Amino acid sequence: MLSFVFAVIALIITPGPGVLSLAGVGSAYGYRHGARYLIGLLLGNNMVCIAVITGLAAVMLAEPRLRLVFSVASTAYLLWLAYRIAFAGAKVGFIDMPAPPGIRGGILLQAINPKAYVVNTVLFSGFAFLPGSPGLEMALKLVIWNVLWILVHILWLWVGVSIRALNLPARTQRAINIGMALAMLAVVALAIFSAS
């Protein structure tokens, strides 16, 4: 079970579309709107969990045309997001949004987020710790996953809300942007690798 906990932390603390957009909502709109978006991300992520655990995601993505459309759309979105972040200039550029996305926006982002599918597949198909009780193991994994997921995402929301208060030099802000963009490109590479 300990290896599962470490895997969860390692896989969800790294920047992906969910945490980067959550930090952006926090930075742009504060805690109240950020909390609504966080609820949407949580609901969307649990829908992805259920789709992975039940095999629905595997059945849907077994259709080559659907898998291709999903892969191309997700990869294009993540590349666009990495580009926007990397070239945001001297302003820490999580994501520009004209209005807060809310609960529905969080659910929709997770539905097309390839990192959510990859991470959930890795976590729920591996790291067996109760081989004699797969139902209990899945239930425990869901509880552990959600507790850690919520804590990590609250941390990212706090980072987003706090970043605005910092008066960072332009060079530091550019370095943060480039680091976030490289993290997004790593997510793209992981998504392409897992699709092949």
Per-domain residue ranges of the chain: 2-195
Residue that the structure tokens 């943060």 belong to = 176
Let me know: does 159 contact 38? Beta carbons within 8 Å. Answer: no
Tens digits of per-residue pLDDT, 14-31? 777 888 878 877 877 789
Spell out where 6-100 has E strands: none
Average pLDDT over residues 43-48: 96
- Per residue in 109-154, pLDDT (tens digit) is 898 887 888 888 888 888 888 888 989 999 999 999 999 999 999 9
pLDDT of residue 188: 65
User: Which carries the bigger pLDDT value, residue 151 or residue 193?
Assistant: 151
Q: How far apart are CA 189 and CA 2, in angstroms?
A: 27
The answer to whether 159 touches 26, Cβ cutoff 8 Å, is: yes
pTM of the entire structure? Answer: 0.76
Mean pLDDT of 8-19: 80
